[in-house]
């Protein structure tokens, strides 16, 4: 009797574990440098095998599963409305190293992070959470996907937000199949400048300069210390402007004017005009922060107003014209 009851409980538990396929994603798995890489493809229902170009999404920071859900259903995997893109593209997103591809949010910590012992990140994540790993891994995956019959070779859109924009900018210089780049919510002159901008505004001091000195001395250090490793901070503070300026393909830059990155995006726009670079399009979103939520005079975001859908529509309109 007890064995039968145990079998029933295990069976029910197994059925309760959701999979990417349950939510309509194609789940591919590749081995890259002895690590499993989870790749999710979202396609228009019934058109999974129809040849279309890729819209390759480079997500932002933090050790979050790609798919998050609760008893009410799926949380947003992509921040924008995928229905604006599915008729023309297969959407691609890659999981973070050492992080489950899917999780019930009740098993996640603050900001939906997947943490392990003592609320630390998995060692596999911290050991691979740096710029060149993501660029080289994503380049490897793109080359694999371009061999698939359902992938069109005549167009490849690379898009990234926040940390993902830095990855996308460097990847676009490496992979010559990329035809369009969407650079969203990034700082063209490096992460540390945004960190300084925020700290000076909020705390009225420059103590973060001492932190930057530590980062530079320890720029290859991958030890987790409760936040990004020194290497991650150093790598993502390397100006992506240098990579962006190398590109001749159409590039769309989108940003919130109340983002801490905004002054540096303005500087990059000024520089690109001085260089007569005609392949850049800039779209500012007024009085919104890093993730396009409107802010008040104290820069406090209003999470009730979601602007990502409008941003996504602007991306699609730009792609249609370019």
Domains and CATH numbers, the chain: 23-321 (3.40.50.1820)
CA distance 159 to 166: 10
pLDDT digits (tens, 9 = 90+) for 223-281: 988 889 999 999 999 999 999 999 999 999 999 999 999 999 999 999 999 999 999 99
Q: What pTM value is reported for the model?
A: 0.94
Query: What confidence category does residue 206 fall into, taking pLDDT thresholds of 50, 70 and 90?
Result: very high
Q: Which of 96, 88, 106, 160 is nearest to 128 (CA)?
A: 96
Average pLDDT over residues 296-304: 96
Query: What confidence category does residue 182 fall into, taking pLDDT thresholds of 50, 70 and 90?
Result: very high
CB atoms within 10 A of CB 305: 10
Q: What is the pLDDT of residue 144?
A: 98
Q: What is the pLDDT of residue 225?
A: 80
Query: What confidence category does residue 16 fall into, taking pLDDT thresholds of 50, 70 and 90?
Result: low
CA distance 61 to 228: 9
Answer whether residue 302 shows pLDDT above 60: yes
Higher pLDDT, 15 or 225: 225
């Amino acid at each position: 009797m007890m064995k039968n009851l145990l079998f029933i409980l295990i069976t029910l538990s197994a059925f309760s574990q959701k999979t990417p396929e349950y939510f309509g994603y194609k789940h591919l798995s590749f081995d890259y440098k002895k690590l499993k890489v989870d790749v999710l493809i979202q396609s228009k229902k019934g058109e999974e095998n129809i040849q279309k170009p890729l819209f390759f999404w480079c997500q932002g920071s933090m050790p979050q599963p790609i798919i998050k859900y609760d008893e009410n259903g799926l949380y947003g995997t992509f921040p924008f409305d995928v229905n604006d893109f599915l008729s023309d593209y297969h959407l691609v997103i890659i999981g973070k190293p050492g992080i489950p591809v899917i999780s019930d949010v009740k098993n996640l910590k603050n900001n939906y992070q997947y943490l392990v012992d003592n609320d630390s990140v998995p060692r596999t994540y911290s050991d691979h959470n740096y710029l060149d790993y993501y660029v080289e891994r994503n380049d490897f995956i793109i080359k694999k996907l371009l061999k698939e019959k359902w992938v069109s070779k005549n167009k490849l859109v690379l898009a990234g937000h926040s940390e993902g924009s830095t990855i996308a900018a460097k990847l676009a210089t490496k992979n010559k199949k990329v035809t369009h780049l969407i650079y969203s919510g990034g700082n063209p002159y490096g992460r540390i400048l945004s960190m300084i901008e925020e700290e000076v505004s909020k705390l009225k001091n420059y103590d973060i300069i001492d932190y930057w000195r530590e980062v530079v001395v320890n720029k290859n250090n991958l030890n987790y210390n409760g936040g990004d490793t020194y290497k991650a901070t150093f790598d993502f503070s390397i100006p992506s402007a240098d990579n962006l300026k190398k590109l001749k393909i159409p590039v769309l830059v989108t940003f919130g004017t109340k983002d801490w990155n905004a002054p540096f995006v303005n500087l990059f726009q000024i520089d690109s005009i001085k260089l007569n670079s005609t392949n850049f399009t800039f779209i500012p979103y007024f009085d919104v922060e890093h993730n396009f939520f409107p802010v008040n005079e104290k820069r406090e975001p209003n999470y009730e107003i979601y602007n990502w859908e409008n941003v996504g529509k602007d991306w699609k309109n730009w792609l249609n014209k370019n």
